Amino acid sequence: MGTWGIGLTDDDLTADIVGDFMDRFNKGENPADIRRALEKSYEHTIGDSDEGHMFWFALAKAQWDIGALDADILKKVRHIIESETDAKVWLELGATNAVVTKRKVALQKFLSKIEVPNEKPKKVKKIRLKDAHYEAGDVITFKTPDDYFGVAVVVSADKQKEYPANKVVILGLKQKEEPSIEVIMNANLIMSRRRDFGVALVSFLTQYRKKVYEEFKIIGRVRVKVFVDRLAGVYAGWWFLPGSLSSDYFISHTEVKQEQPVSLKDYLGYEDDEEIEVIKENPS
């Protein structure tokens, strides 16, 4: 699971599901068809003992927002909240009693809200579709707050989406001189502090103030041979990248050596004796 917060849509999973619903709705899909599609695509999540109930929260919010809340979904959400299923999960995952109490209050407010029909439901919004800022395979250098070079590599790039994003891996590489592509490809990746997440995957939303990107430099583009897509552990703006090597979300570059290392070359699907395929030395 990615980032959690007290509010209903403060966690990554719920925000993703609501976003998926609204994307489909704004493309003109029927709410009943959207529900069926999401239940299928999030089947694994629904069956998860820690996260399954959050799917129904997200679906209820999205349906209520457009004025089409199904009676059985409202009943299901009411049962989850009144049985304190959510609160039990939070306690098992280490939340304090004070935090859980705040979460209960937030969920009760949510239930009270959706039990009353939405008098101002959202209408279909005309979507402006865009591409993510970077291309898959872009190798990006940046300066850390203590004036070292850090490196991130883009492993996926959304195309023609309302809120396009790049998924990025960050290297446990920190040096005074800008590293070469060869050094970068054999360097190890930063890992998530949650062991079940493995390699730290960050989803960066495209930002339209171009100045944001001025502190980053593309030094090359390599072919991503293999990338198994999954939910990112962290969702952030690009401002997060320069300080990422010291972020509490990740195992620091000095600690990576103590974990099972994963090199960028391995992560992108290259064999040990296989040469890196550089598509462009310095793409514009």
The DSSP secondary structure of 151-194, one letter per residue, reads: EEEEEEE--SBSS-EEEEEEBS--BSSPPPHHHHHHSBBPBBSS
Looking at the structure, do residues 103 and 142 belong to the same domain, yes or no? no
The predicted structure's pLDDT at residue 2: 41
217-261 residue pLDDT tens: 999 999 999 887 776 677 888 888 998 888 777 765 455 454 577
Q: What is the mean pLDDT of residues 86-92?
A: 89
- Count of domains observed in the chain: 2
Q: Determine, yes or no, domain membership for 130.
A: no
The predicted structure's pLDDT at residue 1: 41
Strands in 201-205's sheet, in edge-to-edge order, are: 234-236, 201-205, 165-170, 149-157, 138-143, 216-222, 278-280
146-186 residue pLDDT tens: 999 999 999 999 999 878 999 999 998 889 999 988 889 88
Looking at the structure, do residues 101 and 222 belong to the same domain, yes or no? no
Question: Within 10 A of 171 (CB to CB), how many other CB atoms are there?
Answer: 24
d(C-alpha 74, C-alpha 63), whole Å: 10
pLDDT band at 195 (very low <50, low <70, confident <90, very high): low
Looking at the structure, do residues 193 and 273 belong to the same domain, yes or no? yes
Looking at the structure, do residues 157 and 49 belong to the same domain, yes or no? no
Looking at the structure, do residues 68 and 147 belong to the same domain, yes or no? no
pLDDT band at 139 (very low <50, low <70, confident <90, very high): very high
For 23, the domain range is 12-114
Looking at the structure, do residues 163 and 261 belong to the same domain, yes or no? yes
d(C-alpha 22, C-alpha 28), whole Å: 10
Q: Determine, yes or no, domain membership for 33.
A: yes
pTM of the model: 0.56
Q: Determine, yes or no, domain membership for 4.
A: no
Q: Which one-letter DSSP state was computed for residue 146?
A: T
